[in-house]
């Protein structure tokens, strides 16, 4: 049976703020995916690449995607390497994330969600702020939910494309 998570996917993805959960959404699932996201964020912020990888499914075809050409990593070794390189670009324990708009659904042991997230981090003495679109496919393996696929994309450069898209 399909469970529409709509904006509730945001609560699933972030746990950053409370959103009313529709009655048809299984509260243990909401809690489990919120905890999964929080675990991944905590590990990423601490530069714990093994901790980040532990939030992924036990599968040889896990996937991470970015925005541009070549930003597509498949398998544990490639995903681990990608996160290790991401961690070089910000100081440990400096990342904060707050997510806004989101949507998603689930069917059986598969859940998918999207969110628009605002990130702040620091590298040396420079604070950076950026917005990323995040989407994920989450699988239930045994009693635990795990990410199978994550996609982060964000506009780089002047922001002209974003301004052009909002004016249509």
DSSP 99-125: EEEEEEEEETTEEEEEEEEEEEEEETT
Tokens of 39: 């675990």
pLDDT for residue 124 is more than 50: yes
Tell which wins on pLDDT, 92 or 99.
Answer: 92
For residue range 135-160, list pLDDT tens digits in order.
Answer: 999 999 999 999 999 999 987 665 44
**Average pLDDT score, the chain:** 81
What percent of the chain has pLDDT above 70? 77
Per-residue confidence (pLDDT) for residue 18, from 0 to 100: 32
d(Cα 97, Cα 38) in Å, to the nearest integer?
Answer: 10
Per-residue confidence (pLDDT) for residue 20, from 0 to 100: 34
The CA-CA-CA angle for residues 26, 139, 63, to 5°, reads 145
Q: Which backbone phi and psi does 11 adopt, to 5 degrees?
A: -65, -40
Provide the whole-model pTM.
Answer: 0.79
Which domains does the chain carry?
A: 2-166 (3.10.450.50)
For residue range 25-68, list pLDDT tens digits in order.
Answer: 577 887 898 899 999 999 999 999 999 999 999 999 999 999 98
Per-residue confidence (pLDDT) for residue 28, from 0 to 100: 86
């Amino acid at each position: 049976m399909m469970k529409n998570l709509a904006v509730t996917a945001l609560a699933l993805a972030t746990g950053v703020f409370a959103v009313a959960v529709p009655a048809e959404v299984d509260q243990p699932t909401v809690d489990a995916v919120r905890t999964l996201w929080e675990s991944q964020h905590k590990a990423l912020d601490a530069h714990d690449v093994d901790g980040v990888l532990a939030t992924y499914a036990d599968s040889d075809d896990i996937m991470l995607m970015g925005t541009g050409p070549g930003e597509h990593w498949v398998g544990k070794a490639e995903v681990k390497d990608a996160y290790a390189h991401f961690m070089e670009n910000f100081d440990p324990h400096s990342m904060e994330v707050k997510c806004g708009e989101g949507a998603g659904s689930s069917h059986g042991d598969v859940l998918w969600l999207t969110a628009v997230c605002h990130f702040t981090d620091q590298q040396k003495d420079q604070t950076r702020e950026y917005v990323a679109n995040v989407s994920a496919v989450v699988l239930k393996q045994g009693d635990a939910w795990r990410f199978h696929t994550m996609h982060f994309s964000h506009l780089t450069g002047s922001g002209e494309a974003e301004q052009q898209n909002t004016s249509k």
